[in-house]
Amino acid sequence: MPPPAPPDLILAYRRLLRAGLRAVQFAKPARMILTAKLRAGFRDPRGVFDVEAVRRTVWFLNSAAGRRGIEHRILKNLCRVEWERRQGATWKVRLRGERVREERGRVLTGCVKRDPNIIQGTEYEHYERTIDMLNKTFRLCLR
């Protein structure tokens, strides 16, 4: 059984959860994504607890909840990308052109057929680097 969490850790988790739920306005898919990501972040054994980063992230989430500015759009896109990752339907399916449909007896393809192994495993590399740079620049703890 793991040792009990320090009160600072519990308080930080509750603050992030409360601010995050307010920011996503308790909407069902975003709410579930937010709680899952928050749990995963606090259960990560390699994670580092930074009080200042938590404070700034709570400020960021409160700002996203308060008005529909850049913070709101960033949080909305973070939730959307994570939801699409979990669904398994990403932009790469459309890029490869594997979805073939028939309309009125003729076969239509969206794109030219490409080799699926070219981008396999690297689809979200640029996205994750961008989030890491955002976290380093503003000293946040977004995932």
**Structural domain of 12:** 7-88+124-138
Name the token pair of 109.
Answer: 């393809």
Q: Looking at this protein, which amino acid is placed at residue 47?
A: G
Classified as helix, coil or strand, 106 is: strand
Interacting residues of 34 by C-beta distance below 8 A, sequence separation 6+: 17, 20, 21, 24, 79
Residue labelled with tokens 């601010």: 19
The answer to whether residue 112 sits within a structural domain is: no
Tell me the per-residue pLDDT of 55-83, one tens digit each, with 9 for 90 and over: 999 999 999 999 999 999 999 999 999 99
Give me the mean pLDDT over the 30-57 stretch. Answer: 92
Q: What is the pLDDT of residue 87?
A: 81
Interacting residues of 114 by C-beta distance below 8 A, sequence separation 6+: 95, 96, 97
The answer to whether residue 99 sits within a structural domain is: no
Do 98 and 110 form a contact (C-beta atoms < 8 A)? no
The radius of gyration of the chain's CA atoms, rounded to the nearest angstrom, is: 19
Separation in Å, CA 32 to CA 39, 79, 97: 11, 9, 31
The answer to whether residue 103 sits within a structural domain is: no
The pLDDT-based confidence of 49 (bands split at 50, 70, 90) is confident
- In the 8-state DSSP scheme, what is residue 114? -
The pLDDT-based confidence of 47 (bands split at 50, 70, 90) is confident
Number of domains in the chain: 1
Q: Judge whether residue 1 has pLDDT over 50.
A: no
The answer to whether residue 107 sits within a structural domain is: no
